[in-house]
Structure 1
Amino acid sequence: MDIPVGVSSRHIHLTREHLELLFGEGYELTNMKDLSQPGEFAAHETVRVIGPKGEFPAVRVLGPVRKFTQLEISKTDSFALGVKAPLRASGNIEGTPGIKIVGPKGELETEEGVIVAARHIHMTPRDAEKFEVENGQYVSVRIEGERGLVFNQVLIRVKDTFALDFHIDTDEANAAGLRTGDRVQIIK
Structure 2
Amino acid sequence: MDEILIEEIVKRVKETLANSKETSNIIPIEASGRHIHLSKENVEILFGKGYKLKEKKELSQPGQYQCMERATLIGPKGVIENVAILGPERGKTQVEVSKTDARQLGINPPVRDSGDLKGSETVYIATEKAVVEARESVIVAKRHIHMNNEDAIRFNVKDKDTVNVRVKSDRPVVFEDVVIRVSDKYKLSMHIDFDEANASSFKNGMVAEIIS
| TM-score, reference length from structure 1 | 0.97
Aligned length, in residue pairs: 188
1:63 pairs with 87, 101, 110, which one? 87
Partner of 1:15: 39
- SS of alignment partner, residue 128 of structure 2: coil
Distance 1:18 1:55 in 2: 19
Relative contact order, higher structure (CA 8 A, sep 6+)? 1
| TM-score, reference length from structure 2 | 0.87
Partner of 2:9: none
Query: Which is further off, 11-20 or 99-108?
Result: 99-108
Q: 1:42-121 alignment to 2 at 5 Å?
A: 42-121=66-145
- TM-superposition CA deviations, 1:51-110 (whole Å, max 9, x none): 000011111100000011011000000000000111000100000111111123211112
Identity of aligned residues (%): 46
How far 1:179 moved relative to its partner?
2.9
For the pair shown, the structure with the greater C-alpha radius of gyration is 2
Query: Which is further off, 171-180 or 91-100?
Result: 171-180
Query: Which is further off, 122-131 or 178-187?
Result: 178-187
Report which of the two has the higher share of helix.
2
Would you say the 8 A contact 1:4–1:180 is kept in 2? no
Query: Which is further off, 142-151 or 37-46?
Result: 142-151
Partner of 1:157: 181
Q: State the Cα RMSD in Å.
A: 0.9
Unaligned runs of 5+ in 1: none
Distance 1:68 1:180 in 2: 31
Would you say the 8 A contact 1:19–1:27 is kept in 2? yes
Distance 2:37 2:168 in 1: 32
Distance 1:150 1:5 in 2: 13
Q: What is the letter of the counterpart of residue 80 of structure 2?
A: F
Distance 2:204 2:51 in 1: 31
Would you say the 8 A contact 1:101–1:109 is kept in 2? yes
Partner of 1:136: 160
- SS of alignment partner, residue 122 of structure 2: coil
- SS of alignment partner, residue 135 of structure 2: coil
Q: What is the letter of the counterpart of residue 177 of structure 2?
A: Q
Q: What is the letter of the counterpart of residue 176 of structure 1?
A: S
Unaligned runs of 5+ in 2: 1-24
- SS of alignment partner, residue 120 of structure 2: coil
Would you say the 8 A contact 1:2–1:183 is kept in 2? yes
